[in-house]
Amino acid sequence: MSDEQIRRAVCPGSYDPITLGHVDVLVRAAALYDEVVVAVLHNPAKSGTFTVDERIGFIERSLPDAVAARVRVEAFAGRLLVDVCRDVGADVVVKGLRGGTDFAYELPMALMNRHLTGVETVFLPGAPEFEHVSSSLVKEVAKFGGDVAGLVPDEVLAALTERLVRN
Ligand code: PNS
C-alpha cells in the first residue's frame, strides 16, 4: 500500500496520564484505520504531572501487541492539531465522547479544525464503564487516597500512587 492509500487517524490529547477510557478509544480507532498516531500535545511552558516521555511510555505499554503494531505515539509541543495531522499524513481525528459535556467542548474544535484544513473529526461513543473517567479526576482521587484501580492501566496506577500520594 502506498503512503497515500494508508488511512491514518490522529488521536490527540494530553494523556497526563492515559486512562482505560483512552485505551478503549485507541483500540477501537486502530480497528477502523490502518494506522493511528497518538499525538501527545503538550505545552512546554507547563509541567504536567508526568513528563512527556513518561506519558508516551505509559501509552505504548498499555496497548495490546496486535494493536500497538499499528499505533505510533509521538509528542508535539506548541502546535496546532491540524498542522500535526498534515505532517503525519492524517485526514481524520478520532476522539472519544463521554457525554454531552464532552460534545459541547469538542464540537467547536472539530468545526474549527475542519474550517482550517478540512480535516474531519470522528467521535466514538466512550464505553459506559469509563464515562466518569478522566485524567484529571483520577489524579484528584488518587491524590487523596481514593482507589482508581480498574480505571487506569496497572503501571499508571502504581505511578499515580508514587507521584501523588507521597507528595
Ligand atoms: O486531553 P485534552 O486536554 O482534552 O486534549 C485537548 C487537545 C490537546 C486535543 C486540544 O487542546 C488540542 O487540539 N490542542 C492543540 C492546539 C490546537 O490545535 N488548538 C486549536 C483547536 S481548534
Nearest protein Cα to ligand 1, atom 5: 13
Core vs surface per residue 6-44: b (16+ CB within 10 A) or e = eebbbbbbbbbbbbbbbbbbbbbbbeebebbbbbbbbee
Q: What is the whole-number distance in angstroms between the Cα of residue 166 and the centre of ligand 1?
A: 30
Residue given cell 486512562 in the structure block: 19
Residues comprising the chain, all counted: 167
Q: Which atom of ligand 1 is nearest to the CA of 76?
A: 15
* pLDDT tens across the length of the chain (167 residues): 777 789 999 999 999 999 999 999 999 999 999 999 999 999 888 889 999 999 999 999 999 999 999 999 999 999 999 999 999 999 999 999 999 899 999 999 999 999 999 999 999 999 999 999 999 999 999 999 999 999 999 999 999 999 886 55
Spacing, Cα 80 to ligand 1 middle (Å): 8
69 Cβ contact list (under 8 Å, min separation 6): none
Q: What is the pTM of this model?
A: 0.95
Positive/negative CA dihedral, 60, 66, 71, 72:
positive
User: What is the residue with the minimal CA distance to atom 11 of ligand 1?
Assistant: 13
Report the separation in Å between the CA atom of 13 and the middle of ligand 1, taken as the mean of its atom positions. Answer: 6
Residues with CB under 6 A from ligand 1: 12-14, 41, 80-81, 109, 112-113
Q: DSSP label at 152? A: B
